[in-house]
C-alpha cells in the first residue's frame, strides 16, 4: 500500500479488510468454485453498503470520492480484494460507473447509477473481443445510429459477470467513431454464453448481439468523447488489476515468509539459510517496485495527466509480468505443499494469471508504453 | 557521538534566532543558483577535468554559504537542516554540480561531524566543505572485500598516537585526496568487531603509498590501492573511542547508503554514486545505440528488449521515489536505501547486456579512433553491483535487517579475532 494514505483512506482500508476477513475468507472463495455466479449478491450488496461502488463517483455525481482521489480510493478496495482473492463485480462496476458518470446528455443513467451503487444492479463491461483483441479500432462489434434508435451487432468475449449482469456496457464502433451503449441483458437479440476460467470466483461470458434494437437514450458514450472515455476506462481497468495483484503479492509474500520462519529442515528454520534469504530480498525489490509503479500511475490517473496512459501501461507491463514469476518463486520456496490443492497459493496464482491476460498482456503493454514514450 | 545528524548541537535556534523557512530558503537558493551556477553540461569529462571544474564550483558554493547546508555554522556550514539540503538538491537540478565532492562532503564529512573531536571538526570540516580538502574512505582490504570488519590493517599505540601498517583497496579518488578514514585493528585478543579503531590518515604523510588500479576497461580506474608503512597518526585523529572503530564504520556506511538513496548530506551532488534517477555512469540509453547502428526502434527482434529496458528504467526511478517517501514519512525505518541499491545492482548489468544486443557486431568491431564503448561499459558495469556494498551484502541487509530473518549462524562470535585469523590463514 502507498505510504501517504489519508486518515479517511486508512479507515476505508481497515473496514474493507475487516469485512473480507469476516465475510469472505479464503474458505468462501474455495466454496465459490462450485457456485454458478461465483459471488454472492447479498455480500456484494453489503460491500456496496460500505460504499465500495460509490467510491467510483465523486460526491457531486452521487458517490463518495473527492474528484482527485477516485482512482486511489478504488485501488484501496482492489488491493484488499487481492489479499483474499475476493469475489464480486467490483472492478466492472467501478468502470461502468465511470462511463455512466460521464454520459452523454440524453442518456438514461440516473436509475442505473443508483442501482449499481446500492449493489442491486449488476453491471458488466463488454469490451474485449475474441482472439485477445483489446484494441477498439479493430473491434467488429458495431453500432448503427439511426434517427429513432440504435442497432447493435457483434460479439464480445471475456465479459466479466456477463451472465450475472443486469446491464452490459458495450464498447462498439460506429460510423463516427467508438461509442458505448447500455444494453439490458434481457434485450431481444442478446445471447449470453458462460465461459470457464482459471479463477475460482470470477466468471466470464461470451455475449452475442444480433440486431439488438436500443433507444437513443441507451447511448452512454457518444463518438465525440468515445476514444477518450474508453481510454480512461482501460486505464482504470489496468490500475485496478495492478492494485489487486499487489494485494495478492503482499499477502502471499507475508504468509510464505511466515511459513519459512517456522518450517525446520536440516536442523534449522529454512528462513535462516542464506540462499533463501537472498531470494526473499530479491522478491522484496519486486514487491516494492510493483507498488511504486502502480502508485505513480494512480497519481497520474487521478490528476488526469497526459502521461496517465503511458504510466498505466508501464504499471501493467511490470506488475503483471512479475506477479506470476513471483508466485512461482513462492511456490518454489514453499516446497511440495505449494503445489497441492489444500495450500492456498494456487488460488492466488490463478487470480494473478487471470489478471495477467485480461485487458491484454504485459508484453504488449510494454511495447505500447515505449511507443508512447517516443511519440 | 550524535545519533541523529539533524540534531547537531548548535543550530541557529540555539542562538535564539528563528530558522529560515524552507520556502524562504528555496527562494534565496534559487536566486543565487540561477545567477551563479552554469547550466549542466553533457560533455564527457575525465575525472581530472571534473576535479578542476568541481573545485571552482564547490569553492563558489561554499563562499556563498550554501555548502554544508545542514552543518553547524561553527564548522563552516549554514546551520540549517537536511530538509533545507533537500530543497537545495531540488533547486540545483539542471545546473552544473561539483559531483566530484559527493563522497568527500556527503559521506566522509558527516562521519567526522558525528564522531570527530572538536578540534578536528573545526580545522577540517570547513576545508572539506569548500573543496580545499578531499577525504576518502580506507575500508576494504585486498584480503577481505565485503568483510570490512575483518580488517587486518594494524594500528599500534605509539608516542602521541598510533602507527598504522597494512594495505587498503578500492578507495575512490585516493590519487587526489588529502585524508582517508582508515579502519584498522588495534586489539587482536577480542572478538572481531570489538578490536577495531577508526583513524584519520593524512595521505601526504610519510609511509603512505598510493597506486591507482587499472580497470578491466584498460585505463586507470578511479579507485586505488594504498600501502601504509608505519604511518604515524596523532591521538586526536582517532574517530570515536579506541574500540569503537566498527561503530564509526557503521556510521560511515549509513551516510554512504543515504548518499546512494539520494538523502542525507550528499543531496545536491547528483547521481555519480549510482543513485539518482537513470544515472548515466551505470546505465546506457538504448535508443541512440539502436539509431547509430542503423536499426529501427521497431525492429521486431529488439522490440520487446527495448520496451523491457524502458520499463525497467522507469520503474527503478519509481522505486527510488517510493523508498524516499517511505523514509521521509517514517513508514519505512532502517536501511531501505539497500533496496534501491540492490535494484540498481541488478538492472544496470541487464541494461549493459541489452546495449550489447542492440549494438551487434558494430559494437565490438570498429574502424577509426573511437569505438568499443558499449562492451567496455559492460566489462566494468558489475563494479556498481559490487562497490558500495555488493548485491549479496544488500541481500543480507534486506533479509536480515529489514525483514528481520534469522542471521547466519556464527560460531566465532566470542572468539578472539587473532585466533580466527590463525585458523583460516591460507
Give the residue from B74, B101, B133 where a domain finishes: B133
| The three three-digit cell numbers of residue B26, written as one number | 528555496
Based on the domain organization, do B312 and B358 belong to the same domain? Answer: yes
Res. B179: pLDDT tops 80: yes
Inter-chain residue contact B405 with A280, CB threshold 8 Å: yes
Q: Which pTM does this prediction carry?
A: 0.90
Packing angle, helices A308-334 and A362-374, rounded to 10: 150
Residue A1 lies in a domain: no
For chain A, the residue count is: 375
Residue B257 lies in a domain: no
Locate the chain B residue with the closest alpha carbon to A3. B326
Residue numbers of chain A with a pLDDT score lower than 70? none
- The confidence band for B48, taking pLDDT boundaries of 50, 70 and 90, is confident
Based on the domain organization, do A34 and A110 belong to the same domain? Answer: yes
Quote the pLDDT of residue B388: 83
Spatial distance between the Cα atoms of A157 and A128, rounded to a whole number of angstroms: 6
Based on the domain organization, do B286 and B380 belong to the same domain? Answer: yes
Q: What is the DSSP string of A331-343?
A: HHHH-GGGGSSSS
Q: Specify the CATH number for the domain of residue A197.
A: 2.40.110.10
Based on the domain organization, do B368 and B294 belong to the same domain? Answer: yes
Q: pLDDT tens for residues B340-357?
A: 999 999 999 999 999 999
Inter-chain residue contact B395 with A261, CB threshold 8 Å: no
Res. B2: pLDDT tops 60: no
Locate the chain A residue with the closest alpha carbon to B407. A272
| The three three-digit cell numbers of residue B141, written as one number | 582490504
Residue B352 lies in a domain: yes
Residues of A in contact with B346 (CB under 8 A): 282, 285
Inter-chain residue contact B307 with A269, CB threshold 8 Å: no
Give the residue from B133, B156, B172 where a domain finishes: B133
Of A274, A288, A369, Cβ closest to residue B311: A369
Quote the domain boundaries for residue B233.
137-245
Spatial distance between the Cα atoms of A96 and A220, rounded to a whole number of angstroms: 10
Quote the pLDDT of residue B49: 87
| The three three-digit cell numbers of residue B308, written as one number | 523491457
Q: Specify the CATH number for the domain of residue B213.
A: 2.40.110.10
Based on the domain organization, do B149 and B117 belong to the same domain? Answer: no
Quote the domain boundaries for residue A337.
225-374
Of B315, B332, B409, Cβ closest to residue A314: B315
Residue B82 lies in a domain: yes
Res. B9: pLDDT tops 70: no
Residues of A in contact with B332 (CB under 8 A): 3
Q: pLDDT tens for residues B98-148?
A: 988 999 999 999 999 999 999 999 999 999 999 999 999 999 999 888 999
Cα torsion B280, B283, B285, B290: sign: positive
Based on the domain organization, do A220 and A230 belong to the same domain? Answer: no
Helix, strand, or coil here: A252? helix
Based on the domain organization, do B85 and B31 belong to the same domain? Answer: yes
Residues of A in contact with B321 (CB under 8 A): 292, 296
Q: pLDDT tens for residues A166-217?
A: 999 999 999 999 999 999 999 999 999 999 999 999 999 999 999 999 999 9
H helix or E strand, kind and range, residue A146: strand A142-146
Q: Specify the CATH number for the domain of residue B377.
A: 1.20.140.10
Q: Specify the CATH number for the domain of residue A25.
A: 1.10.540
Q: Specify the CATH number for the domain of residue B44.
A: 1.10.540.10
- The confidence band for B271, taking pLDDT boundaries of 50, 70 and 90, is low
- Burial label for B27, CB within 10 Å (0-12, 13-18, 19+), is middle
Residues 6+ apart with CB under 8 A from B161: B232, B233, B234, B235, B236, B237, B238
Q: Which of B298, B319, B393 to mutate to test the interface with A (most CBs of A within 10 A)?
A: B319
Residue A172 lies in a domain: yes
How many structural domains is chain A composed of? 3
Based on the domain organization, do B96 and B141 belong to the same domain? Answer: no
How many structural domains is chain B composed of? 3
The more confidently predicted of residues A330 and B260 is: A330
Residue B169 lies in a domain: yes
| The three three-digit cell numbers of residue A90, written as one number | 467490483
| The three three-digit cell numbers of residue B238, written as one number | 582517532
- Residue A371 in contact with residue A214, Cβ under 8 Å? no
Looking at residue A237, what DSSP letter applies?
Answer: H
Residue B411 lies in a domain: no
**Interchain CB contacts (distance < 8 Å): A and B:** 108
Based on the domain organization, do A213 and A231 belong to the same domain? Answer: no
Residues 6+ apart with CB under 8 A from A125: A92, A95, A96, A159, A160, A168, A169, A171, A233, A237
B216–A contact, CB cutoff 8 A: no
Of A274, A293, A370, Cβ closest to residue B318: A293
- Burial label for A162, CB within 10 Å (0-12, 13-18, 19+), is buried
Inter-chain residue contact B311 with A288, CB threshold 8 Å: no
Place of cell 578500492: B170
Based on the domain organization, do B343 and B237 belong to the same domain? Answer: no
Q: pLDDT tens for residues B281-301?
A: 678 888 888 877 777 777 888
Based on the domain organization, do A143 and A95 belong to the same domain? Answer: no
Res. B7: pLDDT tops 50: no
Q: Where are the alpha helices (DSSP H) in A190-307?
A: 223-262, 274-302
Quote the pLDDT of residue B290: 83
Quote the pLDDT of residue B65: 95
ipTM of the complex: 0.91
Based on the domain organization, do A208 and A133 belong to the same domain? Answer: yes
Spatial distance between the Cα atoms of A180 and B101, rounded to a whole number of angstroms: 59
Spatial distance between the Cα atoms of A145 and A218, rounded to a whole number of angstroms: 11
B368–A contact, CB cutoff 8 A: no
Residue B35 lies in a domain: yes
Based on the domain organization, do A367 and A240 belong to the same domain? Answer: yes
Based on the domain organization, do A274 and A343 belong to the same domain? Answer: yes
In chain A, the largest separation of any two C-alpha atoms, in whole Å, equals: 79
Inter-chain residue contact A289 with B394, CB threshold 8 Å: no
Residues of B in contact with A272 (CB under 8 A): 405-409
Give the residue from A160, A195, A224 where a domain finishes: A224
Please, what's the b/e burial string for A359-372 (b: 16 or more CB within 10 A of its CB; e: otherwise)? bbbbbbbbbbbbbe
SS (H, E, C) chain B: CCCCHHHCCCCHHHHCCCCCCHHHHHHHHHHHHHHHCCECCCCCCCHHHHHHHHHHHHHHHHHCCCCCCCCCHHHCCCCCCHHHHHHHHHHCCCECCCHHHHHHHHHHHHHHHHHCCHHHHHHHHHHHHHCCCCEEEECCECCECCCHHHCCCEEEEECCEEEEEEEEEEEECHHHCCEEEEEEECCCCCEHHHHEEEEEEECCCCCEEEEEEECCCCCEEEEEEEEEEEEEEEHHHEECCCCCHHHHHHHHHHHHHHHHHCCHHHCCCCCCCCCCCCCCCCCCCHHHHHHHCCCCCCCHHHHHHHHHHHHHHHHHHHHHHHHHHHHHHCCCCCCCHHHHHHHHHHHHHHHHHHHHHHHCHHHHCCCCCCCCHHHHHHHHHCHHHHCCCCHHHHHHHHHHHHCCCCCCCCCCCCCEHHHHHHHHCC
For chain B, the residue count is: 426
A283–B contact, CB cutoff 8 A: no
Based on the domain organization, do B367 and B298 belong to the same domain? Answer: yes
* Range name among A33-37, B231-235, B298-302, B407-411 with the lowest pLDDT average: B298-302
Q: Which of B277, B299, B307 to mutate to test the interface with A (most CBs of A within 10 A)?
A: B307
Give the residue from A71, A101, A118 where a domain finishes: A118
Locate the chain B residue with the closest alpha carbon to A373. B310
Inter-chain residue contact A289 with B332, CB threshold 8 Å: no
Based on the domain organization, do A332 and A256 belong to the same domain? Answer: yes
Quote the pLDDT of residue B273: 36
* Range name among A150-154, A183-187, B317-321, B328-332 with the lowest pLDDT average: B328-332
Spatial distance between the Cα atoms of B258 and B277, rounded to a whole number of angstroms: 15
Based on the domain organization, do A163 and A250 belong to the same domain? Answer: no
Number of H helices, E strands in chain A: 11, 10
Based on the domain organization, do B187 and B283 belong to the same domain? Answer: no
B314–A contact, CB cutoff 8 A: yes
B399–A contact, CB cutoff 8 A: yes
A261–B contact, CB cutoff 8 A: yes
Give the residue from A205, A224, A243 where a domain finishes: A224
Residue B261 lies in a domain: no
Based on the domain organization, do A77 and A108 belong to the same domain? Answer: yes
- The confidence band for B1, taking pLDDT boundaries of 50, 70 and 90, is very low
- The confidence band for B156, taking pLDDT boundaries of 50, 70 and 90, is very high
Inter-chain residue contact B402 with A369, CB threshold 8 Å: no
Residues 6+ apart with CB under 8 A from A47: A19, A53, A88, A90, A119
Based on the domain organization, do A236 and A354 belong to the same domain? Answer: yes
Based on the domain organization, do B120 and B162 belong to the same domain? Answer: no
- The confidence band for B278, taking pLDDT boundaries of 50, 70 and 90, is very low
Based on the domain organization, do A151 and A291 belong to the same domain? Answer: no
Res. B10: pLDDT tops 70: no
Based on the domain organization, do B12 and B56 belong to the same domain? Answer: yes
A374–B contact, CB cutoff 8 A: yes
Residue B64 lies in a domain: yes
Residue A198 lies in a domain: yes
Based on the domain organization, do B152 and B225 belong to the same domain? Answer: yes
Amino acid at each position: 500500500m502507498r505510504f501517504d494514505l489519508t486518515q479517511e483512506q486508512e479507515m476505508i482500508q481497515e473496514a474493507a479488510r475487516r469485512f473480507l476477513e469476516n465475510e469472505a475468507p479464503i474458505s468462501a472463495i474455495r466454496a465459490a468454485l462450485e457456485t454458478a455466479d461465483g459471488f454472492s449478491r447479498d455480500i456484494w450488496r453489503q460491500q456496496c453498503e460500505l460504499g465500495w461502488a460509490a467510491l467510483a463517483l465523486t460526491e457531486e455525481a452521487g458517490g463518495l470520492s473527492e474528484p482527485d482521489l477516485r482512482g486511489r480510493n478504488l485501488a484501496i478496495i482492489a488491493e484488499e480484494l487481492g489479499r483474499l482473492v475476493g469475489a464480486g463485480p467490483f472492478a466492472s462496476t467501478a468502470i461502468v460507473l465511470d462511463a455512466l458518470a460521464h454520459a452523454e446528455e440524453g442518456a438514461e443513467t440516473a436509475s442505473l447509477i443508483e442501482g449499481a451503487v446500492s449493489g442491486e444492479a449488476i453491471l458488466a463491461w463488454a469490451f474485449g473481443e475474441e482472439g485477445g483483441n483489446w484494441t477498439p479500432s479493430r473491434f467488429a462489434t458495431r453500432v448503427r445510429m439511426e434517427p429513432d434508435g440504435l442497432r447493435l451487432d457483434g460479439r464480445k468475449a471475456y465479459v466479466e459477470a456477463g451472465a450475472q449482469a443486469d446491464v452490459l456496457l458495450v464498447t462498439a464502433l460506429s460510423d463516427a467513431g467508438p461509442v458505448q451503449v447500455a444494453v439490458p441483458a434481457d434485450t431481444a437479440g442478446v445471447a449470453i454464453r458462460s465461459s470457464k476460467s482459471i479463477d475460482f470466483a470470477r466468471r466470464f461470458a461470451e455475449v452475442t448481439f444480433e440486431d439488438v434494437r436500443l433507444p437513443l437514450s441507451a447511448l452512454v458514450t457518444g463518438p465525440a468523447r468515445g476514444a477518450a472515455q474508453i481510454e480512461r476506462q482501460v486505464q482504470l481497468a489496468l490500475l485496478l488489476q495492478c492494485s489487486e495483484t499487489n494485494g495478492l503479492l503482499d499477502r502471499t509474500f507475508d504468509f510464505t515468509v511466515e511459513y519459512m520462519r517456522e518450517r525446520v529442515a536440516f536442523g534449522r528454520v529454512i528462513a535462516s539459510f542464506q540462499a533463501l534469504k537472498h531470494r526473499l530480498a530479491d522478491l522484496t525489490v519486486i514487491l516494492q517496485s510493483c507498488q511504486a509503479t502502480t502508485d505513480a500511475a494512480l497519481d497520474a490517473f487521478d490528476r488526469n495527466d497526459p502521461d496517465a496512459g503511458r504510466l498505466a501501461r508501464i504499471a501493467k507491463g511490470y506488475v503483471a509480468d512479475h506477479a506470476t514469476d513471483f508466485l512461482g518463486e513462492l511456490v518454489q520456496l514453499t516446497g511440495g505443499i505449494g503445489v497441492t490443492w489444500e495450500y492456498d497459493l494456487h488460488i492466488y496464482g490463478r487470480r494473478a494469471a487471470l489478471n495477467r491476460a485480461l485487458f491484454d498482456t504485459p508484453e504488449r503493454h510494454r511495447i505500447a508504453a515505449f511507443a508512447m514514450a517516443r511519440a | 557521538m550524535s545519533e541523529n545528524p539533524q540534531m547537531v548541537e548548535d543550530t541557529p535556534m540555539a542562538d535564539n534566532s528563528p530558522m529560515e523557512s524552507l520556502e524562504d530558503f528555496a527562494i534565496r537558493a534559487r536566486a543565487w543558483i540561477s545567477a551563479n551556477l552554469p547550466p549542466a553540461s553533457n560533455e564527457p569529462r575525465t575525472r581530472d577535468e571534473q576535479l578542476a571544474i568541481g573545485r571552482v564550483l564547490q569553492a563558489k558554493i561554499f563562499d556563498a554559504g550554501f555548502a554544508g547546508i545542514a552543518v553547524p555554522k561553527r564548522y563552516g556550514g549554514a546551520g540549517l537542516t537536511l530538509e533545507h539540503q533537500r530543497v537545495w538538491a531540488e533547486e540545483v537540478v539542471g545546473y552544473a554540480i561539483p559531483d566530484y565532492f559527493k563522497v568527500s562532503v556527503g559521506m566522509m564529512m558527516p562521519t567526522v561531524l558525528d564522531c570527530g573531536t572538536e578540534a578536528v571538526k573545526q580545522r577540517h570540516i570547513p576545508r572539506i566543505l569548500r573543496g580545499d580538502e578531499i577525504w576518502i574512505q580506507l575500508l576494504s582490504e585486498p584480503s577481505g572485500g565485503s568483510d570490512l570488519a575483518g580488517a587486518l590493517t594494524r594500528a599500534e599505540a605509539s608516542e602521541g598516537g598510533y602507527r598504522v601498517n597494512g594495505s587498503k583497496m578500492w578507495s575512490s579518488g585516493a590519487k587526489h585526496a588529502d585524508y582517508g578514514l582508515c579502519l584498522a585493528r588495534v586489539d587482536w585478543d577480542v572478538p572481531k568487531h570489538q578490536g577495531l579503531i577508526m583513524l584519520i590518515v593524512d595521505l601526504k604523510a610519510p609511509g603512505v603509498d598510493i597506486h591507482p588500479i587499472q580497470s578491466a576497461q584498460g585505463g586507470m580506474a578511479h579507485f586505488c590501492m594504498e600501502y601504509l608503512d608505519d604511518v604515524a597518526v596523532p591521538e586526536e585523529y582517532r574517530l570515536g573511542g579506541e574500540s569503537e572503530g566498527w561503530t564509526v564504520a557503521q556510521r560511515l556506511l549509513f551516510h554512504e547508503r543515504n548518499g546512494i538513496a539520494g538523502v542525507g548530506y550528499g543531496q545536491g551532488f547528483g547521481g555519480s554514486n549510482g543513485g539518482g534517477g537513470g544515472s548515466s555512469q551505470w546505465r546506457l540509453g538504448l535508443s541512440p545505440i539502436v539509431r547509430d547502428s542503423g536499426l529501427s526502434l521497431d525492429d521486431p527482434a529488439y522490440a520487446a528488449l527495448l520496451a523491457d529496458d524502458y520499463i525497467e528504467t522507469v520503474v527503478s526511478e519509481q522505486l527510488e521515489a517510493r523508498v524516499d517517501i517511505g523514509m521521509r514519512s517514517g513508514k519505512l525505518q532502517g536501511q531501505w536505501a539497500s533496496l534501491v541499491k540492490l535494484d540498481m545492482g541488478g538492472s544496470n548489468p541487464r541494461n549493459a547486456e541489452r546495449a550489447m544486443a542492440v549494438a551487434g557486431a558494430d559494437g565490438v568491431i570498429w574502424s577509426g579512433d573511437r569505438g568499443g564503448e558499449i562492451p567496455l561499459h559492460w566489462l566494468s558495469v558489475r563494479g556498481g553491483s559490487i562497490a558500495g556494498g555488493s548485491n549479496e551484502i544488500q541481500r543480507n541487509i534486506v533479509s536480515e535487517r529489514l525483514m528481520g530473518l534469522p542471521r547466519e549462524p556464527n560460531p566465532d562470535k566470542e572468539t578472539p579475532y587473532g585466533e580466527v585469523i590463525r585458523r583460516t590463514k591460507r
